[in-house]
Amino acid sequence: MTTTSTRPAVFFDRDGVLNHDAGYLFEASKFKWIDGAREAVRLVNEAGYFAFVVTNQSGVARGFYAESDVHTLHNWMADELAAVGAHIDAFEYCPDHPEAAVERYRRDSDRRKPGPGMITDLMKRFPVAADSSLLIGDQERDLEAARAAGIRGLLFREGNLETFVREALKQA
């Protein structure tokens, strides 16, 4: 029997943590990184952690933009991160909303934070050590999702994300 070695992960919320929350953001031209965000992801990579993004994207359900726009923006983010020697191991998003304008997205989903589904789906796909993993979010629903998935949640409100992550990893 072989055992896969696990490693910890940092789950980043997107809007309000990695970038300034511009409300229903899907265009790279309107994307503004939080100070130290790219460096924070690189720090997580260098520490040997998985780096994941978990983001609610109800703008899809509301008909403001398409899932392809989310993929395009995430690909752009990946290129921006690569330019500073950083990477995200996986981007997860939930387009669903119970009051969606677009019928096919009108549903309750455990992948929509505060549900833990995006986190638990990633933990099934990757060998994540949950006991030493953490989520960084800017809303209480992010922390609720972390608790429901059995990982530590940290609230990031403002400042330099690299400084915040450096402190968080010291306490991990």
Tell me the C-alpha distance between 50 and 89, whole Å.
6
| φ, ψ of residue 47 in degrees (nearest 5) | -80, -5
CB 54 within 8 A of CB 92: yes
Q: Which two tokens stand for residue 10?
A: 């940092």
Show the CA angle centred on residue 151, arms to residues 17 and 91, nearest 5°: 45
| Omega before residue 8 within 30° of 0, cis | no
15 is catalytic: yes
- Read off the DSSP letter of residue 6: P
Tell me the C-alpha distance between 82 and 72, whole Å.
15
Residue type at 61?
A: A
Of the candidates 15, 96, 138, 142, the residue annotated as catalytic is 15
Of the candidates 13, 96, 138, 142, the residue annotated as catalytic is 13
Tell me the C-alpha distance between 132 and 142, whole Å.
17
Catalytic residue positions? 13, 15
